[in-house]
């Protein structure tokens, strides 16, 4: 696989950093000219406004995942996260301009920003890797077999992590760890726990809102439906943009 370019790394690996790493942009801001970096300067960190991305598939055509569920998930959970992120970003700019805001209150907003950022990014990755026929291409199967011993071993672990999150909250991530140079599956307890230096390749939402409307507490049946509808071409595209050497 070809080495990642700088632009590709920013577009793809940056998602993992936003979603879960604990490296905060606030640290750089506080280390010098924080007072000058006001939203009136047009700084994207403060005045950027997110808009929901449309679903990349026809919600009427996914097997085992109803149109009602998918539309609610996109509108209420993902859409709600987008609105909340924009609101938190606005509050941060106001709090930074107000010298009376205690640092501990500012950091509470930063923690909320991290959670909402993770929710937005991870939901976008999740919806993008749905809408397919569930058939993994040979190149992806080979990469996973090399990393896990067999494709079936990878799938077994991925499913088991999801089953362990059933009835609770979190995400299952297949990702490439640039620090360790490994393809691994990860268990994310919330929107802000993705490991550092990991590029997400495949995301499965295990919050109850992703399946309860169709399956109640039967999380395993939702996982089956998720695999049936996997858009593996999206996963293959993400994988092709990194170097696993």
CATH number of the domain to which 87 belongs: 3.55.40.20
3, pLDDT greater than 80: no
pLDDT digits (tens, 9 = 90+) for 39-80: 344 458 888 999 999 999 999 999 999 999 999 999 999 999
Residue 58 DSSP one-character state: -
Interatomic CA distance for residues 181 and 105, integer angstroms: 38
229 part of a folded domain: yes
Angle between the 103-128 and 79-97 helix axes, to the nearest 10 degrees? Answer: 150
Question: Torsions phi, psi of 130, nearest 5?
Answer: -115, 165
Dihedral, 178, 127, 53, 239 alpha carbons, nearest 10: 30
* Residue owning tokens 């071993």: 153
Interatomic CA distance for residues 158 and 150, integer angstroms: 13
16, pLDDT greater than 50: no
Task: State the maximum Cα–Cα separation within the chain, in Å, rounded to a whole number.
Answer: 58
233 part of a folded domain: yes
User: For residue 148, which of 136, 163, 134, 158 has the smallest C-alpha distance?
Assistant: 158
For 135, other C-beta atoms within 10 Å of its C-beta total 10
203 part of a folded domain: yes
6 part of a folded domain: yes
Q: pLDDT class for 242, splitting at 50, 70, 90? A: confident
* Domain interval for residue 143: 1-22+63-245
**What is the strand order of the sheet 171-177 is part of?**
182-188, 171-177, 198-205
156 part of a folded domain: yes
Residue 76 DSSP one-character state: I
Residue 54: per-residue pLDDT: 98
Percentage of the chain modeled with pLDDT above 90: 78
- Using alpha carbons, list the distances in angstroms from residue 112 to 20, 70, 88, 92: 12, 25, 7, 10
Residue 22: per-residue pLDDT: 31
Region 15-26: mean pLDDT is 34
Residue 205: per-residue pLDDT: 98
Region 117-135: mean pLDDT is 98
Interatomic CA distance for residues 167 and 43, integer angstroms: 40
Q: How many domains does the chain have?
A: 1
β-strand partners of 177 = 182, 198
43 part of a folded domain: no
Region 184-205: mean pLDDT is 95
29 part of a folded domain: no
56 part of a folded domain: no
């Amino acid at each position: 696989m070809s080495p990642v370019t700088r632009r590709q790394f920013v577009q793809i690996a940056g998602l993992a950093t936003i979603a879960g790493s604990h490296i905060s942009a606030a640290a750089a801001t506080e280390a010098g000219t924080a007072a000058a970096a006001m939203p009136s300067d047009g700084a994207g960190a403060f005045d950027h406004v997110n808009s929901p991305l449309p679903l990349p598939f026809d919600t009427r055509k996914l097997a085992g995942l109803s149109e009602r569920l998918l539309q609610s998930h996109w509108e209420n959970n993902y859409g709600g996260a987008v609105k909340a992120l924009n609101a938190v970003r606005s509050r941060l700019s106001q709090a930074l301009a107000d010298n009376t805001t205690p640092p501990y209150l500012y950091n509470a907003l930063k923690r909320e920003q991290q959670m909402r950022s993770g929710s937005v990014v991870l939901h976008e990755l999740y919806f993008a890797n749905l809408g397919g026929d569930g058939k993994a291409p040979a190149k992806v199967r080979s990469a996973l077999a090399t990393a896990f011993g067999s494709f079936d071993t990878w799938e077994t672990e991925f499913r088991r992590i999801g089953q362990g999150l059933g009835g609770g909250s979190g995400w299952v991530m297949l990702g490439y760890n640039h620090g360790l140079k490994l393809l691994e599956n990860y268990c994310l307890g919330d929107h802000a726990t993705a490991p550092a230096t990991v590029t997400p390749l495949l995301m499965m939402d295990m919050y109850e809102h992703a399946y309860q409307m169709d399956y109640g507490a039967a999380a395993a049946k939702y996982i089956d439906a998720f695999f049936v509808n996997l858009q593996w071409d999206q996963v293959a595209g993400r994988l092709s943009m990194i170097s696993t050497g």
